[in-house]
Amino acid sequence: MEELLLKISNTSIEFPDIELNTGERLGILTKNPSFLFEKLFKIIISPKKYTEEYLLEGIDAENLSFFSHRIFHIISKELWNTTDFIKILKNKTKFRKIIVLVLNEIDIEIKQLIALKNFFEEKNDLSVLVITDSKLAIEAICNKAIDESGTSLEFNEKLLFEDIISGEIFENFEEINNNFALGILKKRSISEGRI
């Protein structure tokens, strides 16, 4: 059953309106992930000051205790001084229900993205907010995405065929010759023209 975990709307600082339900992985594509995260942090610490509407586990900001921000598990290279995010995630306590993952494209290796994708698919009950400048990170991790202005981003999915020997990729099955070692890929991408 989907439950609203976090809702932020009508902020006095530039931050998109968001809604995050249990089990969702929402990505925010931005040019400056650290800067946008700083704004989110201000909202988490002082929701009444920066938003008109802030709900955390269905509770309005007016009724939240000071300790309610402990529901967030924040992961970034700057905060933890590492990019071994899987190790950090494995040590997360159960009461931290919302994972905020701040990723800069220059710090991400493809093997880390694959590990994160697999981790979140395996633990599909986790709620994740990804703030990043990497389309690839959002395509790999998220099931919903917006840009920094709050505009919804569409995912495109298509079937591709790969010759696993040569590495050549074909979009059309008719293009394949007889000496082909078939591999089928499913490519997921964000529509072009964003950020």
Residue 176: per-residue pLDDT: 64
Residue 186: per-residue pLDDT: 59
Q: Do 91 and 160 belong together in one domain?
A: no
* Domains of the chain: total: 2
Residue 190: per-residue pLDDT: 75
Q: Do 183 and 133 belong together in one domain?
A: no
Q: Do 66 and 49 contact (CB within 8 A), yes or no?
A: no
| Whole-angstrom distance, CA of residue 128 vs CA of residue 74 | 10
Q: Do 146 and 79 belong together in one domain?
A: yes
The secondary structure of residue 157, as a DSSP letter, is E
Residue with tokens 């938003």: 51
Q: Do 15 and 28 belong together in one domain?
A: yes
Sequence length of the chain is 195
Single-letter amino acid, residue 128: V
CATH number at residue 82: 3.40.50.300
Q: Do 56 and 116 belong together in one domain?
A: yes
Q: Do 71 and 97 contact (CB within 8 A), yes or no?
A: yes
Task: Determine the structural domain holding residue 166 and report its residue range.
Answer: 154-195
Q: What is the mean pLDDT of each run of 10 residues along the chain (195 residues)?
A: 88 96 96 97 91 89 71 92 91 89 92 92 92 93 94 81 70 64 62 56
CA dihedral 106, 107, 111, 116 (to 10 degrees): -120
Residue 92: per-residue pLDDT: 84
| β-bridge partners, 101 | 75, 130
Residue 193: per-residue pLDDT: 54
pTM: 0.83
Residue 164: per-residue pLDDT: 67
Q: Do 51 and 107 belong together in one domain?
A: yes
Residue 174: per-residue pLDDT: 66
